[in-house]
Structure 1
Amino acid sequence: MRDDTVIHALDTLLDRTVVPGYSRIGFQLRARSWRRNDPPADGLLGRTAMVTGANSGIGKAVATRLAALGASTVLAVRDLDRGERARREIRAAVTAADIRLVHCDVAEPDSIDACAQTLRDELPTLDILVHNAGVLPAERTENSAGHELTLATHILGPLRLIDRLTPLLTAAGDARTVFVASGGMYTQPLPADDPEYQEGPYRGATAYARTKRMQVAFTPLLDQLLADHGASVHSMHPGWVDTPGIATALPRFGSALRPVLRTPDQGADTAVWLAATRQLPMAGHFWHDRQIRDEHYVRYTRYPEEQLLALWDYCLTAAGVTVAHSPREN
């Protein structure tokens, strides 16, 4: 009990001090107490998993580890050439891995619908769905439907994809959906009055953090909708990870912190654990390093429920999702 108290105190200190907690330092210190809770080596045999944005970085690391645990793994990618390279590299790392490739631009409704139709035609079930695809544009950009690109990629696309894949998730019986969010969301309130980022000067990092805040805020609402289908929903943040996206979109940040940035495999750990651990994690929560975390550390990011539900309704409509009931009725 004493050791558990010390570990909990250290974990909390790391989380609140941010820099050590989000870096590889925090990961290495916390991981010492995890090993007894690691998923078994063959824990995903007979399961099927899908990872969006799986051709590099955290997404590729998640896909590699899910395949290593025995899952038949679908790489959902926007660039098929890069996806094919990732598939070859995963197969080289995981002998006899069952890896398939499917085109899916999660910012584009037609691409999502085509991807979902392909999977419904080819797969009997989908046990794990990891929403990892992300963008951080330098300028405000819209998808073909007229929605701001980070909103379309991080929120509208995943909502639409889940809706179109619900039959496969239902058939799995105990499917798990995981959002790879970001600790950057702690800096932003819910953009309830301006979800499309039409007001004020546009900053890609702000747009990214705002939509990551939305992913976390929507997690319990989406979990409530999918509960009747036997599926659970979780969100997590990976810490600060050395990925191609960080190097391209935030070069100063990446350069300054490179000595302590996590590897993609370290960043992938909690997403893989949520997907594969035998004991079902508490659903509808926000996780970091295998622990549920507070969603707010400053007062200005908190929001009333009516703001959240109004934004939820807007996003469901914009994503082309029609649900039989709203969470507010339960």
Structure 2
Amino acid sequence: MTSLPLRLARGLDTVLDRTVAPGYTRIGPAIRRRLPTWPADPEPGALAGKVAAVTGATSGLGVATAQGLAKLGAQVRLVVRDVDKGERVRAEMLRRLPGADIVVDRCDLADLDDVRRFAAEFGPHRLDVLVHNAGVMPATRTESPQGHEMTMALHVLSPILMTELLRRRLHGHDARVILVTSGGMYSQVLRADDPEFLDGTYSGTTAYARSKRAQVELLPVLDAHWSSDGIGVNATHPGWADTPGVVDSLPTFHKLTGPFLRDAEGGADTTVWLAATMPSPDTGELWHDRRVRPTHLLRRTRTGDAERELMWDWVRAQIGTS
């Protein structure tokens, strides 16, 4: 399949993406890796001497991402709420990667005050990779300690606040910030008029997808905001991966699609690749399987600049930054 002309290979890749089911399952990377358009893996040791932080790194995609970064030589900081669980993950990773440099940091990502505490106490003077992976899909409407709807607090407010507070450590050395989003966001329009999901009947899956839509819609704004410090920001979506979060939150989906789901390493592949590939990738983009993807598949979800700016104004007001 590697002998396919580039134009045909790109067309096949696009078809896999637009038809969703084949491309998002393990079938997608199985085919794409054999195409001439598949980018090369990062060089061994590509992250040697660099520091990477991964939030939500106690299961699923978070563990796979952290392990992938450690394999490439990074010092990896597991940013977790449950330190005991984080230490168990660290011990298992060291068993698999003897000599790896892995540290456990405590932070409740849903609590903006704890994010501020974490950033103030963050040890390294330099941070090269910041992966915002922590996620939640509550069954009922739940609020953070500051009174924000939980998915919006954890997926939007917390990552932006943490990055803002760590800008000094990210500044000036090709640092990369990566938001792990979800293909579920394709079903939702940006609700800048109701970011806290106060109107209508609450649905955890809808709230999750709305918050992921907000992540993606804010990419160009965040890219412009942080680019002056030499900080690149992108989002990745993992496709359909077999993780504890899917089992717990979407049991019917997992039962129906289980044999076709990617493993966690497959879901984390593009995040790890973006963190380490050279030269630096384009920023302010949504990526899946190592290629920039469209942020909208449906006309009804398209967002105007006014809605995007309204959401950005709301975010800044909630986290207290300029």
Interval of TM-score (by shorter of Structure 1 and Structure 2): over 0.9
Other-structure match for 2:176: 176
3-state DSSP of counterpart to 2:259: helix
Q: How does 1:269-288 map to 2 (within 5 A)?
A: 269-288=269-288
Number of aligned residue pairs = 319
Deviation at 1:230, TM superposition (A): 1.1
| Cα shift readout 1:115-164 (whole Å, capped 9, x = no counterpart) | 11121xx2110000000000000000111111000000000001110111
3-state DSSP of counterpart to 2:57: coil
* Counterpart residue type for residue 279 of structure 2: Q
Other-structure match for 2:245: 245
Residue ranges of structure 1 left out of the alignment (5+ in a row): 323-330
Asked if the contact 1:217–1:308 (Cα under 8 Å) also holds between the matched residues in 2, the reply is: yes
Moved more, 67-76 or 25-34: 25-34
Deviation at 1:36, TM superposition (A): 5.8
Deviation at 1:2, TM superposition (A): 5.4
Other-structure match for 1:141: 142
Q: TM-score, normalised by structure 2?
A: 0.97
Other-structure match for 1:61: 64
Moved more, 228-237 or 35-44: 35-44
- Find the aligned partners of 1:16 and 1:309 in 2 and give their Cα distance: 28
Aligned-pair Cα RMSD in Å: 1.2
Other-structure match for 1:207: 207
* Counterpart residue type for residue 309 of structure 2: L
| Cα shift readout 1:139-195 (whole Å, capped 9, x = no counterpart) | 00111111000000000001110111111001x521000010000000000011100
- Find the aligned partners of 2:219 and 2:83 in 1 and give their Cα distance: 29
- Find the aligned partners of 2:59 and 2:18 in 1 and give their Cα distance: 29
3-state DSSP of counterpart to 2:77: strand
Asked if the contact 1:159–1:316 (Cα under 8 Å) also holds between the matched residues in 2, the reply is: no
3-state DSSP of counterpart to 2:218: helix
- Find the aligned partners of 1:90 and 1:35 in 2 and give their Cα distance: 28
Deviation at 1:320, TM superposition (A): 2.2
Other-structure match for 2:15: 13
Verify: 1:229 aligned to 2:238, yes or no: no
Asked if the contact 2:38–2:290 (Cα under 8 Å) also holds between the matched residues in 1, the reply is: no
Deviation at 1:279, TM superposition (A): 1.2
Verify: 1:4 aligned to 2:6, yes or no: yes
Other-structure match for 1:89: 92
- Find the aligned partners of 1:99 and 1:2 in 2 and give their Cα distance: 42
3-state DSSP of counterpart to 1:49: strand
Kindly report structure 1 stretches of 4+ aligned residues shifted beyond 6 Å: none
Other-structure match for 2:102: 99
Other-structure match for 2:55: 52
Deviation at 1:111, TM superposition (A): 1.1
* Counterpart residue type for residue 304 of structure 2: P
* Counterpart residue type for residue 85 of structure 1: R
3-state DSSP of counterpart to 1:37: coil
Tell me the percent identity.
Answer: 46
Asked if the contact 1:130–1:180 (Cα under 8 Å) also holds between the matched residues in 2, the reply is: yes
- Find the aligned partners of 2:28 and 2:177 in 1 and give their Cα distance: 25
3-state DSSP of counterpart to 1:105: coil
Moved more, 311-320 or 199-208: 311-320
Q: TM-score, normalised by structure 1?
A: 0.95
Q: How does 1:19-38 map to 2 (within 5 A)?
A: 19-33=21-35, 37-38=40-41
- Find the aligned partners of 1:212 and 1:321 in 2 and give their Cα distance: 21
- Find the aligned partners of 2:21 and 2:210 in 1 and give their Cα distance: 21
* Counterpart residue type for residue 291 of structure 1: R
Verify: 1:130 aligned to 2:118, yes or no: no
Asked if the contact 1:129–1:177 (Cα under 8 Å) also holds between the matched residues in 2, the reply is: yes
3-state DSSP of counterpart to 1:284: coil
| Cα shift readout 1:276-317 (whole Å, capped 9, x = no counterpart) | 001111100111101111111111101211111011110111
Structure that is richer in helix per residue: 1
- Find the aligned partners of 2:58 and 2:236 in 1 and give their Cα distance: 20
